[in-house]
Amino acid sequence: MKSRQWLAVVPAAGALAVGVAACGGSGSASTASADPGSSASGTVNGAGSTFAAPIYQQWGSDLKKQGITVNYQPVGSGAGVAALANKTADFAGSDPALTSDDKSSIKTPVVQIPMAFGAITVSYNVSGLQKGLKLDGPTIADIFLGKVKKWNDPEIAKQNPGVTLPSSNITVVHRSDESGTTKGFTTFLSDYRAQWKSQIGADKTVKWPTGTGAKGNDGVAAAVKQTSGAVGYVEQAFALQNNFNYADVKNKSGKYIAPTLQTTSAAGDELSIPADLGISSINSQNPAAYPIVSQTFIDVHQDVCTSGMSAGNAKALKAFLNYGLTQGQDVAKQLFYAPLPSPLLSKSKAQIDKIRCNGSAIR
Amino acid sequence: MAASAAAISQSGSLRGSPLSRLPDRALRIVLTALAVAILTLIAFFFIRLYVEARPAFARFGVFGFTFNNDWDVSRNVFGALPLVVGTLITAAVALIIGVPVAIAAALFVTELCPRRARGPLTIMLDLLAAVPSVVYGLWGVFVLIPKLKPAEQWVTDKLHFIPFIGGASVAGPNYFIGGLILAIMILPIVSAITREVMATVPADHKEAALALGATRWEMIRTAILPYSRAGITGAAMLGLGRAIGETIAVTLVIGNAPRIGSHLFDQGYTLAAVIANEFGEAANNPIHRAALIAAGLVLFVLTLLVNAAARVFINRRTALA
Amino acid sequence: MNAVLRPVSKARKRRDLAMRASLGLATALALVPLVLVLGYVAKRGLGAWSWHFFSTDPTGSFLGDPGGIKSAILGTILMVALATAISVPVGVGVALYLTEYGKNSWFAKAVRYFVDVMTGVPSIVFGLFVFIVLILSGGVGGYAGWKGSVALSLLMLPVVTRSAEVVLLLVPHTLRESALALGSPRWRMIAKVVLPTALPGLVTGSLLAVARAAGETAPLLFTAAIVNGTSLNLGQRMNSLPVQIFTDVGQAQDRLVARAWGAALTLVVLVLLLTLVARYMSRRSRLT
């Protein structure tokens, strides 16, 4: 185990490490300046989405200098919403918009704030297989249904002429927790494979017909990294961090698109925005967009103080959200998440002003 | 003697005045209250768990919940059979691997090894129990799973004619790895109790066998093993109880797939692992929460039955001794 | 037994030798995992150890320095200390009731039986119970260190009680009787004779329970939760070594996995030290 296995799995870790270190440095440098309501200090407890965890944790460590402590528990979107509902968290990170079931389980009114977009990559760990394997929705569905079992299956081969595919077995890795990443991914699959839609469906957790379950985007990344022949779906930051190879995925316009900052941003551009901002950016109509892009939200109680926060901590929460929608957007970009397009950004900012403490505005 | 002591305390100490007996009374009351409190706590514990689990039992039936092969969180359908089966498979693997080794180690330490090596060997065997579960899990994930995968594949290829074991494509985390880690974790307790049971074998039995010209092994076979069979069975059952309830190490290496695996080297799930993984998000979904607490209750009843059986076996032997 | 009476044949000798050898081999086999686990933990763990590792909190930063395990060490110490402060007095108290007052009454038997039952309860179920009673039902806030302690003390209680009872029963009756015969009231007899005599044994039992609790993850998952920062306030959520390891194991990044090994080594050293001290105490005990 000592060195061989690790080396085989992370052939070019160095390159990414350099890139990541560079952007980490600039991230903290750009955030030294304080934010309008900067006198706030306090503790904010958040929980939820692992998809967006890199951003929230980075924002948290940026705000530490201002005396704001952000404890973000990356436990999955499902657990985040549950934690918001039973008030063990002050805010929930959730990738999918709140459903009516979610809202009724939370009982008190909630404010839903879009924060960023991220691409869900189909990452694989197959020796001899480079980045940019071309896959369409039906094929990915068949892999996760357990119907396509080998990497050189004709279904994969016919989309990748000229690529030598190994005959090794495919090991599917999926989430075991209730996850927004899963909801995004299964929504994508349901749109392309009738069998997926009828048999499995799209939800934060589904009954997977095959594969290993792992907790969180990081857990899936870890399992993919440790298993040769594995394929899993993780947010792009996790794929880049671990130097995974990921697939170019065919979008609605029939083009194979690699996930990049541009193709991810493109998915956020032509969205219809409902009144509660409950957007969905999966399978965008934009021909330039990567098809599996998910939005991510922060959900808070409309009156945070009657839900258990002190006035001081409420102020800190507001400062955190403000930071996220101002300088934080650049930080997100450095982590390969797409910032909100400006029409959506101003609507998001307006949501923050709806938050109350014991009925009055927070200032 | 005990009776006379009690008599003295009943009549009060020799110089006793009613006032000096006050602390005595107080102590008695406090200690009794503690004992009552413990019983109350345990009763409350069961009742609360049962009340919380009831919605799941009411919806699916106790039988339906335990034996339906469908654990589907998104449809709110909870049949725990895949978890029960996973728990039983891993526990069985643990017993098959762990118990013979544990008994052999106990025999070696009590009967065969040089007297001077006995102490250190015992301590080392017991230290296996001191390693925390999460550390076994860490080791399992980063050492056992990758190291053993080729060996597992070799075994399943060679034994392709045996159903459930042969002809599989080995998944990284799987039932077998879970069982193997459990085998290591139950080894010290099974071995320790077996040692204790063997220590109760009367020296006359052993000496008689040796005097009749038996070799060491024949003495073990004819004098020790028959005498301590019940106790060893009890020890194995205690190990089984431990294996069923173990959570964290198994959670890390079982593969977290809520379906019945098609072979020994397939991913699965256990009752305890499902609770550890899903409880955080279930807290707010009443039926999911009830189902997980019900899983805890099923787990608890399983361990209770196994432990009760173990106690019967062990007590029967020590009562004879 | 017929075979036994004949002179020892070569075949029997061979068989004896073979069986002895295989028993020895099996014992060696049993020790292989111990050597491997400790070896790996020591090797990988030492690589992660540094002053920085022990003096900083986990940062949770996705890109930069992941930080160390200070909050996890302090959290474990504080929560286990509180759990000990709860479970040892209660456990020894119940054991005293059983040996000095209850003896063989039906009530004492019931207590004994149910304490035994508690020993078999999987630790995750204790975590569930505390979550239901102290967090879900509301009233006393969310996750907190003291709730983790309560879950741990439920786990320790039966261990302490049973081991204390065994030790207290070993205190010779003659000692008790002579104290009473000298006119000492029962409480003084317990305080001045029984407890001091049994002390080393009580300490051993308690230390073993502490060692067990320090390594437990499952009861803390839904009670003390996962945080990065150090908190010395048991009313707030707290980090702990096992939970920190559990979270880091599931991470893809090598530096977080390295932290898991480093934390594992710390935990193992802590637990093994406690276990060895406990054994040393039990050797020094005059009772056995």
- Give pLDDT tens digits for B94-134: 999 999 999 999 999 999 989 899 989 998 998 999 999 99
Angstrom distance (rounded) from CA A185 to CA A203:
9
How close are the terminal C-alpha atoms of chain A, in Å?
56
b/e B294-321 (16+ beta carbons within 10 angstroms → b): bbbbbbbebbeebbebbbebbeebeeee
Tell me how far apart the alpha carbons of residues A167 and C257 are, in angstroms, rounded to a whole number.
Answer: 31
The rounded distance, in Å, linking the Cα atoms of A47 and B280 is 10
Tens digit of each residue's pLDDT (9 = 90 or more) over B163-179: 888 888 888 899 999 99
| Chain C touching partners, 3 or more CB pairs below 8 A | A, B
Per-residue confidence (pLDDT) for residue C145, from 0 to 100: 93
User: What is the C-alpha separation between B180 and B94, in angstroms, rounded?
Assistant: 6
Are C252 and A222 within 8 A, CB to CB? yes
Q: Tokens for B256?
A: 């977290």
C286 secondary structure, DSSP code: S
Token readout for A32 is 């030294």
pLDDT at B3: 46
- C-alpha to C-alpha distance for A200 and A195, rounded to whole angstroms: 8
Helix/strand/coil percent split, chain B, to 5: 75, 0, 20
pLDDT at B192 over 50: yes
Indicate whether A329 belongs to any domain.
yes
The pLDDT tens digits of the residues spanning A66-81 come to 889 888 988 899 999 9
Residues of A in contact with C253 (CB under 8 A): 218, 241-242
Query: Mean pLDDT for chain A?
Result: 87
Residues of chain B neighbouring C221 (CB-CB closer than 8 A): 276, 279-280
Segment among A11-25, B266-280, C159-173 with least mean pLDDT? A11-25
pLDDT at residue C3 greater than cutoff 60:
no
**B56's tokens:** 């799941």
Picking from C101, C131, C246, the nearest residue to B31 by CB comes out as C101
**Residue A167 CB coordination number (10 Å):** 8
pLDDT surpasses 90 at B19: no
The answer to whether residues A165 and A180 belong to one domain is yes
Using an 8 Å CB-CB cutoff, list chain A residues near B278: 176-178
Contact (CB<8Å) C253/A20: no
- In this structure, is residue A280 part of a structural domain? no
Pairing of strands A230-235, A171-175: parallel
Cα C150 to Cα C221: distance, rounded to the nearest angstrom:
13
Identity at A290, one-letter amino acid code: Y
The model's confidence at residue B18, banded by pLDDT at 50, 70 and 90, is: low
Which residue is associated with the tokens 């957790």?
A205
Separation of alpha carbons B12 and B77, rounded Å: 65
C142 to chain A: which residues are within 8 Å by CB? 45, 86-89, 308
Secondary element (H or E) of residue A174 = strand A171-175
| CA separation for the pair A82, A300 (Å, rounded) | 12
Q: What are the residues of chain A with a beta carbon less than 8 Å away from any beta carbon of chain B?
A: 1, 5, 75-76, 78-79, 81-83, 85-86, 88, 105, 169, 171, 176-178, 201, 203-209, 211-215, 223, 226-227
pLDDT at A25: 36
Say yes or no for a CB contact (<8 Å) between C62 and A215. no
Task: Name the residue with tokens 């048991």.
Answer: C234
- Number of domains making up chain A: 2
Residue A314: pLDDT band with limits 50, 70, 90 = very high
- Render the burial of C170-204: b for 16+ CB within 10 Å, e for the rest: ebeeeebbebbeeebbbbbbbeebbeebbebbbbb
Domain span at residue A245 reads: 119-266
Together in a domain, A216 and A328: no
pLDDT at A5 over 70: no
Q: What sign has the CA pseudo-torsion B58, A83, B138, B170?
A: positive
pLDDT at C55 (0 to 100): 94
Domain boundaries, chain C: 10-48, 54-284
Residue A197 has pLDDT above 50, yes or no: yes
A144 in any annotated domain: yes
CATH of B58-320, one of 1.10.3470.10, 3.20.20.10, 1.10.3720.10, 1.10.10.10: 1.10.3720.10
Contact between A9 and A226 under an 8 Å Cβ cutoff? The reply is yes
Print burial letters for C124-159: b (CB count within 10 Å at least 16), e (below 16).
Answer: bbbbbbbbbbbbbeeeeebbbbbbbbbbbbbbbbbb
Q: Which residue has the tokens 């404890």?
A: A71
CA gap A21, A27 in Å, rounded: 10
Looking at the DSSP bridge assignments, the partners of residue A121 are A234
Query: Is A274 domain-assigned?
Result: no
Q: Which of A94, A101, A204, A196 is nearest to A145 (CA)?
A: A196
Give the pLDDT of residue C64: 76
Distance CA A145, CA C80 (A): 46
**How much of chain A is helix, strand and coil, in % rounded to 5?**
40, 20, 40
Which of B157, B256, B274 should be substituted to probe chain A, the one whose Cβ sees the most A Cβ atoms within 10 Å?
Answer: B256
> Which tokens hold the place of B225?
């093993």
For A82-91, the pLDDT digits (tens) are 999 988 899 9
Residue C134 token pair:
């102290």
Share of chain C above pLDDT 70, in %: 96
pLDDT tops 90 at residue B307 = no
- All residues of chain C having their beta carbon less than 8 Å from the beta carbon of residue A69 are 229
- pLDDT over 70 at B8, yes or no: no
Dihedral, A222, A225, A228, A232 alpha carbons, nearest 10:
70
| pLDDT grade for C284, boundaries at 50, 70 and 90 | confident
ipTM > 0.90, yes or no: yes
In sign, the C-alpha dihedral spanning B84, B85, B89, B92 is: positive
pTM over 0.80: yes
Burial of A182 (0-12, 13-18, 19+ CB in 10 A): buried
Q: How many whole angstroms separate alpha carbon B257 and alpha carbon A211?
A: 7
For residues B158 and A108, what is the distance between their CA atoms, to the nearest angstrom? 61
Q: What is the pLDDT of residues A99-133, one digit of tens each?
A: 998 898 888 999 999 999 999 999 999 998 989 99
* Cβ pairs bridging A and C (under 8 Å): 75
C224 and chain A: CB distance < 8 Å anywhere?
no
What DSSP string describes B64-96?
HHHH-EEEETTTTEEEEHHHHHHHHHHHHHHHH
Residue C6 pLDDT level (bands cut at 50, 70, 90): low
pLDDT interval class at A50 (50, 70, 90): very high
Cα–Cα distances (Å) from B246 to A268, B293, B308, C32, in that order, read: 46, 16, 18, 21
Task: Provide the b/e sequence for A253-289 (b: ≥16 CB within 10 Å).
Answer: eeebbbbebebbbbbbbebeeeeebebbbbbbebebb
A307 — pLDDT class (breaks 50, 70, 90): confident
Output the pLDDT for position B2. Answer: 46
Whether residue B275 has pLDDT greater than 50: yes
Alpha-carbon distance of C160 to C202, in angstroms, equals 8
Q: What is the CATH classification number for the domain harbouring A173?
A: 3.40.190.10
- What pLDDT is recorded for position C288? 53
Token representation of residue A131 = 């980045």
Q: Which residues contact A205 (CB under 8 A, 6 or more apart)?
A: A78, A175, A177, A178, A179, A182, B73, B74
**A73 and A167, same domain (yes or no):** no
The whole-chain average pLDDT of chain B stands at: 89
Distance (Å, rounded) from C-alpha C93 to C-alpha C203?
14
Residue predicted with more confidence, B93 or A7: B93
Domain boundary among A228, A251, A266: A266
Q: Do A73 and C142 touch (CB under 8 A)?
A: no
Say if strands A171-175 and A212-214 run parallel, antiparallel, or are unpaired: parallel
pLDDT in tens, B278-304: 988 887 788 999 999 999 999 988 988
Task: Give the per-residue pLDDT at A44.
Answer: 92
CB B1 within 8 A of CB C174: yes
Phi/psi at B169 (5° precision): -105, 115
Q: Tell me phi and psi for residue C3, to 5 degrees.
A: -55, -35
User: Does residue A304 sit in the same domain as residue A177?
Assistant: no
- State the alpha helices, DSSP H only, in chain A: 4-9, 13-30, 53-63, 77-85, 100-106, 137-145, 154-157, 180-192, 194-199, 216-226, 236-241, 261-269, 311-325, 327-334, 342-352
Residues A221, C229: C-beta atoms closer than 8 Å: no
Beta bridge partners of A94: A297
Return the SS3 of A8: helix
At C142 the pLDDT is 80
Fold classified for C54-284: MetI-like fold (1.10.3720)
Is residue A289 in a domain?
no
- Kindly state whether residues A84 and A185 are assigned to the same domain: no
